[in-house]
């Protein structure tokens, strides 16, 4: 084979390779003649133009393809400029509607084509879809904006707290300004604050992979961010009593809900830290699941310590107020009951005297017994008036999501459990029906039952395990059943109804009104409240709330 043949073979191979590369690169490639008609394109461009094969585009203009007229006008203007001025147009960022209807952002470059005589004979173009790049850039700008806002807030707090830190505040402001253009400077600023931010990738099987966590996390806790990855990763550092809180947080995030949660973690040195975690899921509509979790957490340890101290003071004041109120109520009740009791005692003594006499005056005895009955009824009326007073406020009935009602008081319940040295677990069934009721009064009933259960577990020295709050649906009666199960000393005796009577109590300092008031509230909602002994230690208190039937909304 001569040198000429070898050159021709080599040129043919090079043309074949070039044609193969152009046909299969992910960017769109096209070329047109002086009359703006397509001479060819590659596979990627053919798909965006709405033709089945690259050969189908030959001879067509932009007005005969999938573009809108405004787009075709714009393309022709750019082509004409390239050919008339004989110079390229590079890196044109344009929005283009693709043949499949998708709105895409393209980065396009066009250069003039020259014939053998050097004259412009057409235009060659290449475009690259940068839509995903733009979306990521926007997301990063949002994250940076949120972090910049947090840094500004922290900087202002430090400025007010200590004027001697003005030099550091000025340095921080310079770092904030540079944060908009430099991730490295963002990292330096994040190390100056007690807050940290993070991003997780959520797999379809429920595992989380750490994308990034700011350095403040390790500085605060001493733990490595990699410990948070995978199913149950938080359990390695979360305080054992707050595991149910973190579990509910995870369930909410994977269900697509933004969660703001407060919980404790145990640092590497054993110190307890309180965090306020604000997490936002990124929901994928096509896959119908959470695919990413973005969040930020704040160290609120000092605030929590102050709140707990305040709660102790408030509890003491509330105890004094209750004693004062019950003292006044007891005095009024004693005054109201004194007269019928004196009547009962006096007439009973008269009846005893008559029964002891030699000659029984039946009429006088009948009158004495009648006075006893009347006085007893009067005393009963006093008790009924007291109960009516306690249930005087009318509930404000609205349509309620029971899961949300429980969720709103979950933090109070968990705080009470911690004060009693116990753990609480929530077992809330999914797809609960809507009910009608007063949320405040229903939460009052639930809190009263929880506190009674915690008291019972504290007074029973052998009590172990956890308090359980369970909510389920009872289809046969179209009701929602809410229960509180403890592991305390159990119910007193066989007649459980006595515990719901006013002033009945087994507590040394109890008043005996909580269960009576709770039953009045539940009955006003059309439900009922009762107690059952557990198979093991303790008791379960349950109450029902009727569900709203279809058509009654």
Q: Averaged over 217-227, what is the pLDDT?
A: 74
Task: Over range 449-466, report the average pLDDT.
Answer: 77
Ramachandran bin of 526, using left for φ above 0, alpha for ψ from -120 to 50, beta for the remaining angles: left
Name the band, by pLDDT with cuts 50, 70 and 90, for residue 328: very low
Instruction: List Cβ neighbours of 159 (8 Å cut-off, separation of 6 or more).
Output: 165, 166, 169
How far is Cα 328 from Cα 386, in angstroms, rounded to an integer?
A: 13
Instruction: Give yes or no for a contact between 37 and 59, defined as CB atoms under 8 angstroms apart.
Output: yes
User: 254-300, pLDDT tens digit by residue?
Assistant: 888 998 888 888 888 888 888 888 889 899 888 889 989 888 888 88
Query: Largest Cα–Cα distance of the chain, in whole Å?
Result: 157
Strands 424-428 and 467-474, how do they pair?
parallel
The topology under which CATH files domain 19-129 is Beta-Lactamase (3.30.450)
Fold held by 398-546:
Heat Shock Protein 90 (3.30.565)
Using pLDDT thresholds of 50, 70 and 90, give the confidence band for residue 39: very high
Q: Is the pTM of this model over 0.75?
A: no
Residue 37 has pLDDT above 90, yes or no: yes
| DSSP reduced 3-state for 106 | strand
Chain position carrying tokens 């009701």: 479
Mean pLDDT computed over 446-453: 89
Between residues 499 and 135, which one has the greater pLDDT? 135
Low-confidence winner among 51-60, 92-101, 252-261, 527-536 (lowest mean pLDDT): 92-101
**Residue 162 pLDDT > 80:** no
Give pLDDT, residue 392: 46
What pLDDT was estimated at residue 323? Answer: 47
CA distance 29 to 22: 7
Q: Identify the pLDDT of residue 344.
A: 83
Q: Encode 13-31: b = buried (16+ Cβ within 10 Å), e = exposed.
A: eeeeeeeeebeeeebbbbb
Phi, psi for 28 (deg, rounded to 5): -80, 135
Fold designation for 306-390: Helix Hairpins (1.10.287)
CA distances from 99 to 43, 51, 398 (A): 13, 9, 50
Sequence spans of domains, the chain: 19-129, 134-302, 306-390, 398-546
- Which among 511, 369, 536 is positioned nearest to 452, based on CA atoms? 511
SS3 state at 316: helix
Question: Does residue 2 have a pLDDT over 90?
Answer: no
| pLDDT score of 207 more than 60 | yes
Task: Quote the pLDDT of residue 482.
Answer: 95
Do the domains 306-390 and 398-546 sit in the same CATH topology, yes or no?
A: no
Burial class (CB in 10 A: 0-12, 13-18, 19+), 34: middle
- Give the C-alpha separation, 197 to 190, whole Å: 9
Q: In the prediction, which pLDDT does 440 show?
A: 84
Q: Residue 88 contacts by C-beta under 8 Å, 6 or more apart in sequence?
A: 82, 109, 110, 111, 112
Token reading at 425: 């677990």
Instruction: Quote the percentage of the chain above a pLDDT of 70.
Output: 76
134-302 sits in which CATH class? alpha beta
Q: What is the mean pLDDT of residues 526-546?
A: 90
Q: Lowest-pLDDT range, 82-86, 145-149, 155-159, 509-513?
A: 509-513
* 528: nearest Cα among 477, 485, 493, 468: 477
Q: Report which of residues 396 and 474 the model is more confident about.
A: 474
Q: How many CB atoms lie within 10 A of CB 106?
A: 19
Query: Do the beta carbons of residue 448 and residue 414 sit within 8 Å?
Result: no
Query: What's the average model confidence in pLDDT over 198-210?
Result: 80
In whole angstroms, give the CA distance from residue 280 to residue 19: 47
CA 429 to chain CA mean position, Å: 17
Secondary-structure breakdown of the chain: helix, strand, coil percentages, each rounded to the nearest 5: 50, 25, 25
Two tokens, residue 498: 């006595």
């Amino acid at each position: 084979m001569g040198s000429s043949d070898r050159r021709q073979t080599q040129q043919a191979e090079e043309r074949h390779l070039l044609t193969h590369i152009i046909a299969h690169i992910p960017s769109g490639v096209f070329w047109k003649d002086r009359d703006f008609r397509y001479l060819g394109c590659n596979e990627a461009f053919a798909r965006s133009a709405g033709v089945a094969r690259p050969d189908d585009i030959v001879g067509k203009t932009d007005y005969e393809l999938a573009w809108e007229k405004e787009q075709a006008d714009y393309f022709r203007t750019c082509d004409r400029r390239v050919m008339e001025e004989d110079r390229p147009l590079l890196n044109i960022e344009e929005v283009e509607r693709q043949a499949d209807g998708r709105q895409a952002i393209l980065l396009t470059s066009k250069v003039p084509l020259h014939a053998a005589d050097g004259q412009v004979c057409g235009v060659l173009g290449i475009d690259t879809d940068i839509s995903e790049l733009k979306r990521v850039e926007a997301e990063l700008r949002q994250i940076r904006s949120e972090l910049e806002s947090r840094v500004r807030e922290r900087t202002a707090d430090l400025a007010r707290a200590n004027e001697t830190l003005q030099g550091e505040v000025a340095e921080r402001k310079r770092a904030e300004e540079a944060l908009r253009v430099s991730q490295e400077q963002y990292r330096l600023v994040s190390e100056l604050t007690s807050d940290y931010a993070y991003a997780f990738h959520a797999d379809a099987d429920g595992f989380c992979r750490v994308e990034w966590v700011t350095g403040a996390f390790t500085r605060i806790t001493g733990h490595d961010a990699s410990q948070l990855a995978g199913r149950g990763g938080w359990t390695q550092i979360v305080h054992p009593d707050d595991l149910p809180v973190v579990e509910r947080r995870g369930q909410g995030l994977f269900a697509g809900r933004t969660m703001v949660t407060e919980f404790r973690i145990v640092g590497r040195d054993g110190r307890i830290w309180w965090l306020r975690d604000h997490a936002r899921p990124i929901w994928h509509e096509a896959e119908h699941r959470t695919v990413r979790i973005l969040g930020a957490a704040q160290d609120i340890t000092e605030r929590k310590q102050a709140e707990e101290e305040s709660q102790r003071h408030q509890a003491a004041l509330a105890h004094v107020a209750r004693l004062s109120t019950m003292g006044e109520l007891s005095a009024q009740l004693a005054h109201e009951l004194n007269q019928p009791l004196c009547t009962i005692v006096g007439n009973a003594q008269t009846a005893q005297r008559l029964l002891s006499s030699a000659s029984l005056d039946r009429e006088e005895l009948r009158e004495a017994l009648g006075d006893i009955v009347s006085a007893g009824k009067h005393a009963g009326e006093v008790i009924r008036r007291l109960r009516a007073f306690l249930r005087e406020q009318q509930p404000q009935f609205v349509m309620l999501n029971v899961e949300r009602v429980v969720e709103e008081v979950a933090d109070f319940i968990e705080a009470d459990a911690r004060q009693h040295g116990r753990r609480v677990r929530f077992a809330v069934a999914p797809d609960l029906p809507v009910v009608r009721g007063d949320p405040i009064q229903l939460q009052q009933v639930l809190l009263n039952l929880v506190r009674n259960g915690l008291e019972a577990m504290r007074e029973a020295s052998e009590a172990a395990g956890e308090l359980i709050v369970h909510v389920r649906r009872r289809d046969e009666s179209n009701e929602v059943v809410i229960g509180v199960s403890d592991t305390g000393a159990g119910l007193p005796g066989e007649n459980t109804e006595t515990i719901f009577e006013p002033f009945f109590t087994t507590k040394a300092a109890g008043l005996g009104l909580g269960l009576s008031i709770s039953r009045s509230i539940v009955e006003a909602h059309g439900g009922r409240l009762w107690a059952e002994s557990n198979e093991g230690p303790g008791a379960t208190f349950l109450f029902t709330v009727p569900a709203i039937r279809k058509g009654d909304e």
